[in-house]
Amino acid sequence: MTTRLRARELTLSYGERVVSTKLSLDVPDGAFTAIVGPNACGKSTLLRAFVRLLRPAAGTVSLDDQQIAAYGSKALARSVGFLPQDPLAPDDIKVRQLVARGRFPHQSLLSMWSQEDEEAVTEAMETAGVSELADRPVQELSGGQRQRAWVAMVLAQRTPYLLLDEPTSFLDITHQYRLLTLLARLRDEGRTVVAVLHDINQACRFADHLVAMKEGRIIAEGAAADIVDAALLKEVFDLPCVVVPDPVTETPMVVPTHFDDP
């Protein structure tokens, strides 16, 4: 597997509070990478370092052997798209307008709206399934629709890399699976997808590459079938469980047992 996006020896901190030290991760190209771990294990922080929202105290993140710190704002935004956990849409913005904002890195200060912009927006809305909502205000949408509108915005950015921070939270189970299926399809079309996911079973089913984190460190990474077992779950989540094959996809499926301490 080739990698173009990689983190080397990162020290990540918010002010005085150090989240991670010596953290390294190679993001496999053209694959779906899922990062899992308990709350506050530093998985979102790692994602934020990959999109330069957090400047590492030490270490580097590089894309195509060039440090991302050296990229221009728009150049990086044409390569790496990011959806934060709970993005906030401005008042009164309509879905189409929101999606069109994803074209920002492809425009110069004075350039006008081009045919390519228009195509990218239409395609993104179709892919994310929000074409019918184009003229609806984002505020009035349901949680699932709103999340898909935001995904469409990131898709309109047309970046080879797509990083998403817990994109399935607040969605019902159908919308969760639809969104993950959409991400898998984008992977099939050649994009590299990295998502922080809450649900280990969904991560096992959809991800090609699983990264398990705890307390700012990567405990294990690799294909789900190779790394997910009861011992790992115990170590990362402190969850007693059995791991059985998923009846549909044969990927590992985690079934919790009983806690020792009731």
Chain residues that interact with another protein, rule: CB under 8 A: 48, 51-53, 72-78, 80-84, 87-94, 97, 101-102, 104-105, 107, 109-115, 118, 135, 153, 157
How many other C-beta atoms lie within 10 A of the C-beta of residue 32?
A: 23
Closest contact distance (angstroms) between CB of 55 and another protein is: 9
Closest contact distance (angstroms) between CB of 233 and another protein is: 28
How many other C-beta atoms lie within 10 A of the C-beta of residue 115?
A: 7
Nearer to another protein, 104 or 170 (CB): 104
Nearer to another protein, 165 or 241 (CB): 165
Nearer to another protein, 33 or 157 (CB): 157
Distance (Å, whole) CA 36 – CA 166: 10
Closest contact distance (angstroms) between CB of 53 and another protein is: 6
Closest contact distance (angstroms) between CB of 16 and another protein is: 12
Nearer to another protein, 102 or 216 (CB): 102
Nearer to another protein, 135 or 260 (CB): 135
Closest contact distance (angstroms) between CB of 103 and another protein is: 9
- Contacts of residue 7, defined as CB under 8 A and 6 or more positions apart, other chains included, come to 23, 24, 25, 26, 46, 49, 50, 59, 60, 61
Nearer to another protein, 73 or 174 (CB): 73
Closest contact distance (angstroms) between CB of 77 and another protein is: 3
Backbone angles phi, psi at 153, to 5 degrees: -60, -45
Angle between helices 173-188 and 115-128 (to 10 degrees): 130
**Residues 117, 119, 121, CA angle at the centre, nearest 5°?**
70
Residue 131's closest CA among 116, 113, 149, 147?
A: 149
Judge residue 105's burial from the number of C-beta atoms within 10 Å of its C-beta, 0-12 exposed, 13-18 middle, 19 or more buried. Answer: middle
SS3 54: coil
